[in-house]
Amino acid sequence: MSPIPQASVANRLLRLLSVEDYGLLEPALDRVHMPLRTALFEPHVPVEHVYFPEGGVSSIVTDQEGGDPVEYGLFGGEGMSGTPVLLGAGQSPHHCFVQMDGATMLRIGSDALLDACRQSFSLHGLLLRFVHVLAVQSAATASANAHYALPERLARWLLMCHDRTEHDRLELTHEFMAQMLAVRRSGVTVTLHTLEATGAIRSTRGLVTILDRQKLKDFAGESYGTPEREYNRLIAPFGLG
């Protein structure tokens, strides 16, 4: 593998590492392109590689037999896949895949990552803080599903996707949004029209364009912001803007 200078890396976690900590990872890092819908880990299969995205959005979903997948976590260039590796679990009953903007990722073998973490408390600590933020996000999603109506939940989800992209155009189908939010497709269609009426977004076939982020935040209300504030507190500025 060719050396990957830290200055060339777009993943926020890797950029935040000290030179010494990045040096522990760099010999085992490989830059790969991960197309849309590529699996980053599969249910009940040992996680052999951990991925640090340089863009795009990836989802972690339940994979219940006989039922549609339901998203409980998402991340992009601010995070990483394979958190079961860091927690000593080795695998997960869930499924993780690239859901938007297939992008390059920095890939490392799980064993190599754990070996580096054993050598550096600061490296391990930073990655575990992201695991914590992802757990907070999962709890916030459960709370939003229980306490908020679909317009607030969809506004929150669009904001989270927007946080992780470099542009205002989100390539999303109504069917995919319905699956991620565990609702009917017709409900997503009606709700998108509601959000359009406020001037917050424009929705066309397979595409949602963010026109006014502040209006979208106003619509989401308190359903959005807790995981983002925790990332800001523990790691670095992210989201909320």
To 10 degrees, the CA torsion angle through 60, 155, 55, 63? 10
Lowest mean pLDDT among 7-21, 71-85, 167-181: 167-181
When pLDDT is averaged across residues 78-103 and rounded to a whole number, the result is 91
* The pLDDT of residue 65: 63
Sheet strand arrangement including 49-53: 30-34, 103-109, 49-53
pLDDT tens per residue across span 21-48: 999 999 999 999 999 889 999 999 999 9
Confidence of residue 96 (pLDDT cuts 50, 70, 90): very high
Rounded CA gap, 156 and 220, in Å?
A: 5
**CATH no. of 6-142:** 2.60.120.10
Distance CA 147, CA 160 (A): 18
Rounded mean pLDDT of 195-218?
A: 93
Determine what percent of the chain is predicted with pLDDT higher than 70: 97
Neighbours of 198 (CB within 10 A): 15
6-142 against 148-234: fold identical: no
Least reliable range by pLDDT among 62-66, 73-77, 95-99, 185-189: 62-66
pTM of the model: 0.94
Of 78, 93, 86, nearest in space to 41 by CA: 93
CA 91/CA 201 separation, integer angstroms: 38
- CATH class, 148-234 region: mainly alpha
Residue 181: pLDDT band (50, 70, 90) is confident
Q: For 131-170, what is each residue's pLDDT tens digit?
A: 999 999 999 999 998 999 999 999 999 999 999 987 899 9
d(CA 130, CA 126): 7
β-sheet bridge partners, residue 185: none
Q: Where are the domains of the chain?
A: 6-142, 148-234
- 101 or 22, which is more confident: 22
For residues 39 and 102, is the Cβ–Cβ distance under 8 A? no
Q: What is the pLDDT of residues 104-118, one digit of tens each?
A: 999 999 999 999 999
Convert the chain into a string of H (helix), E (strand) and C (coil): CCCCCHHHCCCHHHHHCCHHHHHHHHHHCEEEEECCCCEEECCCCCCCEEEEECCCEEEEEECCCCCCCEEEEEECCCCCCCHHHHCCCCCCCCEEEEEECCEEEEEEEHHHHHHHHHHCHHHHHHHHHHHHHHHHHHHHHHHHHHHCCHHHHHHHHHHHHHHCCCCCEECCCHHHHHHHHCCCHHHHHHHHHHHHHCCCEEEECCEEEECCHHHHHHHHHHHCCHHHHHHHHHCCCCCCC
Residue 56, C-beta contacts closer than 8 angstroms, at least 6 positions apart: 34, 76, 77, 98, 100, 101, 102, 103, 164, 165
Determine the pLDDT at residue 64.
64
